[in-house]
Each structure stands twice: as structure tokens, then as C-alpha cells.
């Protein structure tokens, strides 16, 4: 039996036995292709934040960075739930409407005198229930997720108007204390409780996706559902479960948005589902499923937030430039994904 020999590549010698100084290609460090979109997203974030730091005085402060999380805590939670869905090759268009419905339910219940803790439980239960219903329909009847979640979007938005057409202010002391409270960090930087909740959601999602059987099955279903089924994996539970998670995250994001706005309104979060999808795609997740990371989605949210901050610092640009730049980034990252897939 032949024995394999591992040869350590060395730099070729010049005449006389001295090293030529040329580096061997065998020493190059290869990066797995599935990490390239995430790395690209991080590079874009560093570049955009660096441009702001050079162009505007005070942009590079710790509080500006903290404000990115404060102003986008609810979007981070939405992106977490959307990541689970997209990893299976699905889509959820209802998340923005569920956010609005959550704010309306919370505001209406608090106005009626319900305790804050019970209001939170009801809101999370409603969001999870809607996700469960959509996931079950998608699996049971084989309907495309786009159609089912589009119907869920109209349903949730319509329920908002059933509760109230006007904006409902939140005056509950518990909610207002949560909204105005802050956590002190070193260097005089402060963050809100919403940021803490969003970061806990991110940590929990990373744990579930990478350290549990459910998370591994999510990636398997996105890679090839038929192969995952032949392997004996619980594909049904996972396909329905990711929409439950997305509904839960939408409701949680709605609660964070109600803390941010201190009101419930039927027209809250219009188009926010597109922001969540954009953040996940810019963060490196493939729309076809099977490839993506929660951390990449979080960085994608930070990229979108940095673009908005740059435009607000500029002062002379219309807010529509945010949409234009995000559209360009989406096209660039989708092209990058196609290149990686073809080479793989």
C-alpha cells in the first residue's frame, strides 16, 4: 500500500542555493466561496462608514455607530426572521404588515387598560399564529410562498384598519419607560433596550442555525429539499417552522417599532418587508436558499442604515437617493451571487 506524503511548498531557489524571494502559490490562504458575499458586505460597510468619517466631522463617533443600531433595531429583528425563510428558498412578504398590526394591537390593548406583559404575549402569539397559518398552507397545498405571504400581507394590513383608521398613541408607563430608558456603555455611548433585545434575537438565531438540528435542516432544505427528505430530515416541521419564526420576529419587530414610535398606526412599516429582504440579500444570502448567515443580514442592515445616515448628514440630497443606492447594491450583490454559484 502506498503512503501519501504531504509536501510543504517552499520558495524556489535561485542559482547558488539562495531563495529567490518569490512566494509560492501553495501558501495562499483560500476563503470558502460561501463567505465571499458576507466579506463583500462587510467591506462595503467599512467603505461607506469610512467615507462618512472622512467627509463629515463627528461621523466616526461611537454614538453614531450606536445610533445605527438604535434606529434599525426593529429591522435587524425582521432580517433575522427573513433569513430563516430565505435559507429554505422561501420568501415572506407579510412582515411589514405584521409589524403594523403588532403596533395596532399593542396600542389598542394598552389604551383599553390591558397590562403590558399580557399585551406583549398576545402580540407575539398573533404574529406566530399568522406565520404558522401561512407555513401550513404553503406546505399542505403546495402554494408558492410568494402568493401565500402576499395574501398574508393584505390580511394583516386590512386587520390594522379594522382596529382603527387613526393613529393610536401609546401612553402606558411601562412602554414609555422602555422607550426612553437607555443602557450606558463605555465612552459615554448609550443604547436603548430595543437594541439589547435585537442583539439577543441575533445571538439566539445564530445558535439555532449553527448549533441545532433544526438549523442544519434549514440549510439542507434550502440546498435540496428532496435530498433532505431522503435523508430522513424533518423537512415538514422546518418548512412550517421558519414561517413561525418569521411571524414571531415580525411581531417582536412590531413591538420594538411601537417603542420607537410610541404609537400604533395602520400605515406603519409600509414597504419594510422590502427593506428586510434587501438587507438579507445584501448580507449574502442566496434567494434560491441554502447559503447565508444571520451575521451577514445584520451587516446588511447596517449598510442600509449607513447609507441613510450619509444622506441625512449631506442635508442637500433627497431621501429617495437611499432607495436608488440600495437598488444598485442589490443588483451588484445578486450579480456577485450568480458568479459564485456558477463557479461552484
Q: Where are the domains of the chain?
A: 34-47+64-343
Q: Three-class SS of residue 136?
A: helix
What's the pLDDT at 327?
85
CATH placement of domain 34-47+64-343: 1.10.3470
Q: Look at residue 203 in the predicted model and tell me its pLDDT.
A: 98
Closest to 146 measured CA to CA, from 328, 323, 287: 287
Single pTM value for the model: 0.88
CB atoms within 10 A of CB 217: 21
Residue of 301, 281, 274, 271 lying closest to 70 (CA atoms): 301
pLDDT of res. 316: 66
Q: Which three cell numbers stand for residue 69?
A: 443600531
Residues 269 and 127 sit within 8 Å (Cβ to Cβ): no
Tell me the three state secondary structure of residue 183: strand
**Residue 75 CA to its chain's centroid (Å):** 7
What DSSP line would sit under 239-275, residue for residue? HHHHHHHHHHHHHHHHHHHHHHHSEE-TTTTTTHHHH
Q: For residues 254 and 99, is the Cβ–Cβ distance under 8 A?
A: yes
Give me the average pLDDT of each 10-residue run along the chain (344 residues): 45 47 50 80 91 87 93 97 96 97 97 96 98 96 95 97 95 94 91 96 97 96 92 94 98 97 95 94 90 94 91 75 82 77 66
Model pLDDT, residue 344: 60
Identify the pLDDT of residue 339. Answer: 76
Return the residue matching grid coordinates 447596517: 302
DSSP 8-state symbol, 188: T
pLDDT at position 340: 67
pLDDT for 196 equals 97
At 1-13, the pLDDT tens digits run 444 444 444 444 4
pLDDT of residue 29: 56
Amino acid at each position: 500500500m502506498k503512503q501519501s506524503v504531504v509536501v510543504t511548498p517552499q520558495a524556489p531557489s535561485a542559482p547558488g542555493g539562495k531563495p529567490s524571494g518569490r512566494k509560492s502559490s501553495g501558501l495562499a490562504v483560500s476563503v470558502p466561496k460561501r463567505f465571499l458575499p458576507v466579506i463583500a458586505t462587510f467591506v462595503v460597510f467599512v467603505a461607506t462608514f469610512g467615507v462618512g468619517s472622512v467627509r463629515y466631522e463627528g461621523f466616526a463617533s461611537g454614538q453614531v455607530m450606536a445610533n445605527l443600531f438604535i434606529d434599525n433595531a426593529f429591522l435587524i429583528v425582521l432580517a433575522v426572521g427573513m433569513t430563516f425563510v430565505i435559507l429554505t428558498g422561501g420568501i415572506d412578504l407579510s412582515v411589514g404588515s405584521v409589524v403594523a398590526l403588532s403596533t395596532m394591537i399593542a396600542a389598542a390593548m394598552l389604551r383599553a387598560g390591558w397590562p403590558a406583559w399580557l399585551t406583549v404575549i398576545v402580540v407575539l402569539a398573533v404574529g406566530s399564529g399568522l406565520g404558522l397559518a401561512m407555513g401550513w398552507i404553503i406546505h399542505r397545498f403546495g402554494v408558492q410562498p410568494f402568493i401565500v405571504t402576499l395574501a398574508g400581507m393584505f390580511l394583516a394590513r386590512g386587520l390594522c384598519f379594522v382596529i382603527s383608521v387613526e393613529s393610536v398613541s401609546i401612553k402606558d408607563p411601562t412602554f414609555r419607560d422602555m422607550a426612553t430608558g437607555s443602557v450606558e456603555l463605555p465612552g459615554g455611548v448609550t443604547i436603548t433596550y430595543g437594541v439589547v433585545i435585537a442583539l439577543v434575537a441575533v445571538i439566539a438565531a445564530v445558535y439555532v442555525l449553527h448549533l441545532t438540528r433544526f438549523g442544519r435542516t434549514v440549510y439542507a432544505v434550502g440546498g435540496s429539499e428532496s435530498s433532505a427528505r431522503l435523508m430522513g430530515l424533518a423537512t415538514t416541521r422546518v418548512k412550517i417552522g421558519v414561517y413561525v419564526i418569521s411571524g414571531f420576529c415580525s411581531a417582536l419587530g412590531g413591538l420594538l417599532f411601537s417603542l420607537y414610535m410610541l404609537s400604533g398606526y395602520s400605515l406603519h412599516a409600509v414597504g419594510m418587508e422590502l427593506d428586510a429582504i434587501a438587507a438579507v440579500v445584501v448580507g449574502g444570502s442566496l434567494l434560491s436558499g441554502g447559503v447565508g448567515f444571520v451575521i451577514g443580514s445584520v451587516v446588511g442592515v447596517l449598510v442600509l442604515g449607513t447609507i441613510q445616515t450619509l444622506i441625512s448628514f449631506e442635508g442637500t440630497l433627497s431621501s429617495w437617493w437611499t432607495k436608488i443606492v440600495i437598488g444598485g447594491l442589490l443588483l451588484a450583490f445578486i450579480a456577485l451571487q450568480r458568479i459564485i454559484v456558477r463557479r461552484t
